[in-house]
Amino acid sequence: MVCLERDIEQLTEEARRLIEEATDLAQLDAIRIQYLGRRGKLTVLLRSLGQQPPEVRPRLGRVANEAKQLLQRLLADKRQMLVKSAKVPTEAYDVTLPGISPLVGRRHPLSLVRRQMEEIFIGLGFEVVEGREVETDFYNFVALNIPKDHPARDMQSSFYLSEEILLRTQTSPVQVRVMRERAPQVPLRIVAPGRVYRRGDDDATHSPVFHQMELLAVDVGLSMAHMKGVLLDFARKMFGPDRKIRLRPSYFPFTEPSAEVDVSCFCDGEGCRLCDGTGWLEILGAGMVHPVVLRNGGYDPEYVSGFAAGLGIERVAMLKYGVDDIRHFYRNDLSFLACFEDMGGGWM
Amino acid sequence: MRVPLSWLRELVDVPTSADELAERLTMVGIEVAAVRRVTAAAQGPVVAATIMSAVPHPSNPQWRICRVSAGSRGEFQVVTAATNLAVGDRVPLALPGTRLGPDWTIRREEFGGEPSEGMLCSATELIFGIPHLEGEGILQLPHKCPPGTDVVEWFGWSEDVLELDLTPNLAHCFSLLGVAREVAALFGGKVRHPAVARVRDLPAARTEVILEDPEGCPAYVASEMEAVRPVASPPWLMWRLRTVGLRCHNVVVDITNYTMWELGVPLHPFDADRLGDVIRVRRARAGEELLTLDGEVRKLNEEILVIADGSRPVALAGVMGGKDTEVTSQTRRVLLESAYFNPFVVGRGARRLGLWTEAASRFAKGVDPSAQYTAALRAIELLEREKAAVLVSRPRLVGRLAQPHKRLLIRPARVAQLLGIELGKEEVAAALRRQGFQVAEESQERLAVTVPSQRVDLNEEVDLVEEVARVHGYDRIPAHRPVGALVGAFRPEATRLKERVADLLVAAGLQEVVTTSFMPLDVLEALGLPEGHEWWQYVRVMNPGNEGQRALRTSLIPVMARVLTHNVARQQRGVHVFEIGTVFRPAAEDPDALPEERVSVGLLSWGPIGPRRWCQPRINSNFYYLKGVLEELFGRLGVGVRVTRVDHPLYAPGRGAQLLVGEIPIGHVGEWKPEAAQRLGLRGTVATAEVDWGVILAKRRVLERVASPARFPAVFRDLALLVPREVSAAAVAEVLQRAGGEYLEEVELFDLYEGPQVEAGWRSLAFGLRFRAPDRTLTEEEVSDIVERMLVSVRERTGARLRT
Ligand SMILES: [Zn+2]
């Protein structure tokens, strides 16, 4: 028993010395665990009291508890002392110095805009699909109601790789490819973004390589009013909640009726340079899928109808961010690219 | 297509202004690109003057000295070379200061010592600002035009012209008559058809017409005219041609052009004396040639439809006439052609010849197939009225003209369904009647609609649906969200993964770029890729628009090199970019197969990384930087990639590596040969990498379950090893890993030293090791034993020893 009591004293003394010598909180914590932790020396000793003869247990218990309390107090005191004595840095920072900026890149503006457009249409129930960039004359033209020698072929001049193979001039070939995969299932709702190619002008508003997004819906009972509804939603999500849209009759061989779609300008109809004083900005072409195209896709135009639209991604990006030259997107001037952030969420 | 307002008003009432009309037409799909003010060429004081006297010039018998009186503007002396002048004539006098063209201003001058205080002008000079035509004299003004009057104003040579930007379906609007029909529909007016000649009791025509290709030319009207006077056109006609942007030739040619503009039917006059008695409309034969009106010799083939006489082609049908049979000032007899040519045949021919004349583009879009006879009579009416020619026989119609109307059916219920508007049968009928169509009830569900054959765009029900929508107004279609079954609207996995790769590369500090799909062959050359290298195996573009569009890219690196040189020229200090884009390879063997399209991920890095910082030095980009980016990318996507040295012609010896998944090469990374950079005018190290994205898609690991965080503490050890130079770091790490057993969690190389502190041929590699057992805290002794085993193993296998 005497022996055990001495052990407690020794342990206490040992711990007291260590606590005194400790210089930081981590050390103090280590000491606490070493003596008072679940497997700490004093804890283990206290636990062994149960094996001692009953007559000595109360006394030993008292001694041990006193030792425990003592250590706890010493630890607490020392802790307070250490916290208080923590050094105040002598030199103040120049808080106006630049911070250490993390190295993070950026997406290209066309990717930002494409992604935002995709998300708007996904939200409206359209699924994203991708198509080929090199197409056959059949899918790019014939299947879209543009036979050989059709005058509409002169509307867009194409880069041919061979007599029958060309770089697609529009994302519309995806329409018939997807319809052929899915017909006669309805509803079919897709958006197909991608690169398209047109031979000819290379100027501030035309690039031989640019991006389009095709929109196609086929279902029972779809009407032009539904097309207008979807495009109005798009215009408002993309350009702001107060935008209006306007449909003007137009012509595309693969839709009928066809429409040119304008969105009201940021000047709210006042007329400005962007809209050439008209108050309206031309953003896309659209229409009801032509019966010939539906049939080519494997649908019966007597039972289903559809609408389609083709949007120029550069065009949307240029309008949205006031970019005056389409070639900026392809020159990749880093200082130009650094201007873009995905700030489109405001209306989402 | 240009539509002068005064001309349009002849055919239909236009109860509004030019701007309002433009707006209304645009909203029914006839886009008015601009309303332009067309004026005469003459700008300045051109006044009517009476010739008081005319005497020969003393030193030049070709000239005369005229004294003219311009009323209140005074009297003037003018020297003129004109011959059609007599005392008492009323003529236009351009006073000094009048501008007829950019380099043509009238000044007071002296001719052979005689002062000339202005110029007496022809109509061509005043209207077009070009020298008068052969045989054209001074414009004779009527006497009701008082002396001193401003001539340009008196004629009204200034008016608004609508410039239409027409889609190809609106073929009928390539004529004043067609536009007039649209205007009548818009404002509820009636079209006034232009006067045509009455067919008199004349003998039958002598000219024989043989239609050898009835598909190419189903109908031909030939009219024989004599007493031809191909003089300059009268001022009203010249002015009309000016307003629509045509040039003037002589009254015969001008009237045929005028008729084409008015009715949309192209006509062609031949000099009948230069033509045989037979007209054959046939395909050209290979080897035949024709000198056309524009002075070019055209090589013909079977695709091209021609008008031939007995022996030779004399005109390209529907495209352009021949020079030899042209109507000139010598022409005395004319054969006037008014024919219908197949749109596809003319279109193909015009495309082959690259010759899109006014006539060809009208035929290709579709001319009214019923109007050829009427159009001939209209031209004859004008020719006779202007005393330019006299019809001498009945116009001969060969072949068959289309009916002037066609009958189509439409279901009003279908209209309502497609447009999404509540439209009843009556409303549909009313809309179509406003277009000038006759509508009758066919059955309970159907209406029968009679439309003029000029509307070549209307052939089936859906065409009429569009017509109803146009008339009813697109702005009256409501906006509804579609109602229907929900479908899973997602990005497909492949698209999503592309976004993920891009986002990871952005997080790694790279800027995304988007470049052209065409391969810059000059850059490829500069990069020093040898002939036969796979980047030279490109897909060719048959009809490039310029040199830069001859090839499709086989790799992203040459186009990205362009981005680098552009930005270096724009004073950028560091360029660290990536692109995810399509590259193209020719299809194996089969020429009809589509080329292979693959998505590629390209990386390019040059210059210091990140901005200059006040508290940290910067490092320059190099091989290891891009390799690190790739390791991060592959690590995150769970693609197991091995990197081995490789000799790549772009990369400096020993500075290029191949990326492998299993044994399949999926890309490369390296530092350019210095000469490649130099040839592009670049200094410093350029590092690039390119990876086939398809492999990432196929080989990525999909995360299935995650281990719980470790419960027991780890034990760390650092190990500095001296390793023979020829042993790769990866080899040492691999031996360590293997010898470490199950408790070794990580081997990380954190230091490398070569130099005076270690002996030559050796280097020091320092590895950080982390050990952990899943079920207990490892003891120091256990860990020491393991490390000892690792040291033995690494010594035996690589010759490495502990650095002391
Ligand atoms: Zn505006």
Please give the average per-residue pLDDT across B320-342, as a whole number: 94
Note the pLDDT of residue A347. 41
Q: Which two tokens stand for residue B82?
A: 């004109």
Which of the listed CATH numbers 3.30.930.10, 3.40.50.1980, 3.30.2130.30, 3.40.50.300 matches domain A109-340?
A: 3.30.930.10
In chain A, the largest separation of any two C-alpha atoms, in whole Å, equals 116
Q: Which two tokens stand for residue B489?
A: 């609207």
Average pLDDT, chain B: 92
Note the pLDDT of residue A156. 60
Q: Tell me how far apart the alpha carbons of residues B462 and A86 are, in angstroms, rounded to a whole number.
A: 86
Under 8 Å between Cβ of B266 and B242: no
Under 8 Å between Cβ of A276 and A256: no
Burial code (b: 16+ CB inside 10 Å, e: under 16) for A33-45 equals eebbeeebbbbeb
Under 8 Å between Cβ of B238 and B152: no
CA distance, residue B592 to nearest chain A CA (Å): 8
Q: Give the rounded distance of the alpha carbon of B111 from its chain centre.
A: 53
One DSSP character per residue, B616-675 reads B---B--HHHHHHHHHHHHHHHT---EEEE---TTEEEEEEEEEEETTEEEEEEEEE-HH
φ, ψ for residue B672, nearest 5 deg: -60, 150
Q: Which two tokens stand for residue B177?
A: 């008559």
CA distance, residue B586 to nearest chain A CA (Å): 10
Note the pLDDT of residue B199. 84
Domain ranges in chain A are: 2-85, 109-340
Contact B25/A at CB under 8 A? no
Under 8 Å between Cβ of B241 and B144: no
Q: Tell me how far apart the alpha carbons of residues B342 and B678 are, in angstroms, rounded to a whole number.
A: 60
Across the interface, of A98, A132, A160, the residue whose CB is closest to B543 is A160
Beta pairing partners, B165: B31
Q: Tell me how far apart the alpha carbons of residues B257 and B383 are, in angstroms, rounded to a whole number.
A: 12
Write out residues in chain A with pLDDT < 70, as ranges: 1-2, 151, 154-156, 342-348
Count Cβ atoms below 10 Å from residue B614 Cβ, excluding itself. 8
CA distance, residue A245 to nearest chain B CA (Å): 9
State the best of A132, A150, A207, A224 to mutate against chain B, taking most chain B CBs within 10 Å.
A224
∠ at Cα B328 (B322, B332), nearest 5°? 110
Please give the average per-residue pLDDT across B236-257, as a whole number: 94
Between these two residues, B723 and A200, which has the higher pLDDT value? B723
Q: Which two tokens stand for residue B279?
A: 């007209």
Q: Tell me how far apart the alpha carbons of residues B804 and B788 are, in angstroms, rounded to a whole number.
A: 15
Note the pLDDT of residue A346. 39
Cα B221 to Cα B177, B317, B363: the distances in Å are 21, 13, 16
Beta pairing partners, B771: B715, B744
CA distance, residue B361 to nearest chain A CA (Å): 9
Contact B482/A at CB under 8 A? yes
φ, ψ for residue B314, nearest 5 deg: -120, -10
One DSSP character per residue, B518-572 reads B--HHHHHHTTPPTT-GGG-PPBPSS-SSGGGSBB-S-SHHHHHHHHHHHHHTT-
Which of these, B3, B39, B34, lies nearest to B19 by C-alpha position?
B34
Q: Give the rounded distance of the alpha carbon of B60 from its chain centre.
A: 56
Under 8 Å between Cβ of B41 and B126: yes
Please give the average per-residue pLDDT across B94-110, as a whole number: 88
Burial code (b: 16+ CB inside 10 Å, e: under 16) for B237-257 equals bbbbbbbbebebbbbbbbbbb
Note the pLDDT of residue A348. 37
Please give the average per-residue pLDDT across B734-756, as a whole number: 92
Between these two residues, A25 and B477, which has the higher pLDDT value? B477
Using the predicted structure, report yes or no on whether residue B397 has a pLDDT greater than 80: yes
φ, ψ for residue B125, nearest 5 deg: -65, -40
Cα B434 to Cα A145, B169, B385, B431, B451: the distances in Å are 29, 20, 34, 5, 12
Residue B65 region, left (φ>0) first, then alpha (ψ -120 to 50), else beta? beta
SS3 B149: coil
For chain B, what percent of residues have pLDDT higher than 90? 72
Under 8 Å between Cβ of B246 and B354: no
Torsion of CA A45, A51, A57, A61, to 10 degrees: 20
State the best of B170, B445, B459, B491 to mutate against chain A, taking most chain A CBs within 10 Å.
B491
Report the chain A residue with the minimal C-alpha distance to residue B615.
Answer: A100
Q: What share of chain A is helix, strand, coil (3-state, %, to 5)?
A: 45, 20, 35
Note the pLDDT of residue A345. 45
Contact B569/A at CB under 8 A? no
Count Cβ atoms below 10 Å from residue B748 Cβ, excluding itself. 11
Which chain B residues are within 8 Å of A130, Cβ to Cβ?
A: 492, 494-495
Contact A110/B at CB under 8 A? yes
- Grade residue B84 by pLDDT with cuts at 50, 70 and 90: confident
Please give the average per-residue pLDDT across B67-76, as a whole number: 89
Which of these, A261, A241, A266, lies nearest to A250 by C-alpha position?
A261
Between these two residues, B589 and A123, which has the higher pLDDT value? A123
Q: Tell me how far apart the alpha carbons of residues A301 and A295 are, in angstroms, rounded to a whole number.
A: 7
List pLDDT tens digits, range B667-722.
999 999 999 999 999 999 999 999 999 888 888 888 788 888 889 999 999 999 99
Using the predicted structure, report yes or no on whether residue B274 has a pLDDT greater than 80: yes
- Ligand 1 is an ion; its neighbours by CB within 5 Å are A 265, 267, 272, 274-275
Q: Which residues contact B569 (CB under 8 A, 6 or more apart)?
A: none
Q: Tell me how far apart the alpha carbons of residues B472 and A112 are, in angstroms, rounded to a whole number.
A: 39
Give the distance (Å) from ligand 1 centre to CA of residue A240: 14
Which of these, B328, B574, B648, lies nearest to A103 by C-alpha position?
B574
Which of these, B349, B165, B327, lies nearest to B257 by C-alpha position?
B327
Note the pLDDT of residue A296. 96
Q: Tell me how far apart the alpha carbons of residues A214 and A308 are, in angstroms, rounded to a whole number.
A: 7
Cα B45 to Cα A315, B105, B194: the distances in Å are 48, 11, 35
Q: Do B351 and A149 touch (CB under 8 A)?
A: yes
pTM given for the model: 0.84
List pLDDT tens digits, range B188-213.
889 999 999 998 889 988 889 999 99
Burial class (CB in 10 A: 0-12, 13-18, 19+), B612: exposed
Under 8 Å between Cβ of A306 and A187: no
Q: B24-38, B128-142, B271-285, B385-399: which range is least confident on average?
A: B128-142
Q: Tell me how far apart the alpha carbons of residues B511 and A334 are, in angstroms, rounded to a whole number.
A: 8
Which of these, B47, B803, B172, lies nearest to B467 by C-alpha position?
B172
Q: Tell me how far apart the alpha carbons of residues B777 and A30 are, in angstroms, rounded to a whole number.
A: 16
Beta pairing partners, B151: none
Q: Which two tokens stand for residue B136?
A: 């054209």
Q: Tell me how far apart the alpha carbons of residues B172 and B165 are, in angstroms, rounded to a whole number.
A: 13
- Number of helices followed by number of strands (H, E) in chain A: 12, 9
List pLDDT tens digits, range B130-180.
888 877 888 899 989 999 899 999 999 999 999 999 988 899 999 999 999
Which of these, B397, B389, B482, B472, lies nearest to B427 by C-alpha position?
B472
Report the chain B residue with the minimal C-alpha distance to residue A291.
Answer: B462
B window 112-171, beta carbon within 8 A of A: 167-170
Q: Tell me how far apart the alpha carbons of residues A2 and B167 are, in angstroms, rounded to a whole number.
A: 112
Cα B791 to Cα A58, B737, B758, B765: the distances in Å are 57, 11, 19, 13
Give the distance (Å) from ligand 1 centre to CA of residue A264: 8
Note the pLDDT of residue B625. 95
Note the pLDDT of residue A155. 56
Note the pLDDT of residue A2. 56
